[in-house]
Amino acid sequence: MIISASRRTDIPTYYSEWLFNRFKEEYVLVRNPMNIHQIGQINLSPDVVDGIVFWTKNPVPMLHRLSELDKYNYYFQFTLNAYDRDVEPNIPSKNNVIIPAFQQLSKAIGKDRVIWRYDPIFFNERYTMEYHCKYFRVLASKIGEYTEKCTVSFLDLYRNTARNTQPLKIQQETKEQQLEIMQIFSEISKEYGFYIDTCAEAIDLEKFSIAHAHCIDKERFERLGKCKLSVEKDPNQRPECGCIASIDIGTYNTCRNGCLYCYANYSHNTVMRNTQIHNPISPLLFGEVGPDDVIKERKVKSCKECQMTLFDL
């Protein structure tokens, strides 16, 4: 079983204490996004958790507790963009906090466990082709040696994303612009010693040596854990997504980063209301189990095939 923590919210930044409590008690409760009174109980024992992907823009709250993760196989998807506070209002200083955190995390756990994400890419009057290329190079010069790869994507305008990004006056990029920026990014990545892939993008960039990403990556987990996994592609993701099946333990409308392009927050007021009832010792990310709630244990098992390790890895 693979745990995603989380595509729905930045757990490492805002809920790390809760997360470590969940690992200590070896279970978590997750509300069904489509039926809030249906709660799944997920076993977090190392016996059944084959890997964890942490998604974050700021892992600082976790850095002093990484040793508590030693019994798990894990890596980080670390988003570090060149946007300012008009786009990412609650992200601390990139130069003073986030870049040093990226470097520190990589030094602590290895660059193969820290994936750089530069996404989503969009263009407007301020964030032009020239801007992205200039600052992608700046970031690459500072963190390129601390990662193996950078995953990129272009902005998808979901309904709430389109609404929230209206002040930015985004200009829909053309295929020619996509090709141009990817060629430049590819050249920069080679200069600084990492490679690039794309997240859930249909565009073919093979001529730039850019492949399609597997953000929740079977091969990476097998390499890190030195054990084969029997797990299939996630059927709940978009066709272009290469991720393997996982269980997300986050909750929508709980991320306080406030990024305008975010698809996981529908309402600022809802986010504030939910975060105010967060309890780090509760098995739920926010709130408590109520009388109308039904808890069902989710049947999970390990997907490891370790007997093949010596011959296949």
pLDDT tens string, the chain, 313 residues long: the values are 999 999 999 999 999 999 999 999 999 999 999 999 999 999 999 999 999 999 999 999 999 999 999 999 999 999 999 999 999 999 999 999 999 999 999 999 999 999 999 999 999 999 999 999 999 999 999 999 999 999 999 999 888 899 999 999 999 999 999 999 999 999 999 999 999 999 999 999 999 999 999 999 999 999 999 999 999 998 888 888 889 999 999 999 999 999 999 999 989 999 999 999 999 999 999 999 999 999 999 999 999 986 544 445 4
The answer to whether 236 and 243 have CB atoms below 8 angstroms apart is no
End-to-end alpha carbon distance in the chain? 20
Q: Which of 67, 89, 91, 66 shows the shortest CA–CA distance to 79?
A: 91
Please provide the size of the chain in residues.
313
Evaluate whether 215 touches 151 at the Cβ level (below 8 Å). Answer: yes
User: What is the Cα–Cα distance from 144 to 192, expressed in whole angstroms?
Assistant: 5
**Calpha distance 152→155 (Å, rounded):** 10
Q: Are 192 and 140 in contact (CB under 8 A)?
A: yes
The set of residues, in sequence order, having a beta carbon less than 8 Å from that of 38 and lying 6+ positions away, is: 31, 32, 293, 294, 296
Which position has the token pair 């990484």?
66
In the 8-state DSSP scheme, what is residue 33?
A: T
CB contact at 8 A, 116 and 76:
no
Q: Give the per-residue pLDDT at 313.
A: 47
pTM over 0.85, yes/no: yes
Q: What is the pLDDT of residue 310?
A: 46
Nearest partner of 122 among 259, 253, 240, 214, judged by Cα: 259
> What residues have CB less than 8 Å from 107, skipping those under 6 apart?
146
CB 168 within 8 A of CB 86: yes
The amino acid that residue 23 corresponds to is F
For 197, half-sphere exposure in the C-beta direction (CA atoms, 13 angstrom radius) is 15
Nearest partner of 165 among 127, 116, 203, judged by Cα: 127
Q: Residue 198's closest CA among 156, 151, 237? A: 151
Count of CB atoms situated within 10 Å of the CB of 292:
7
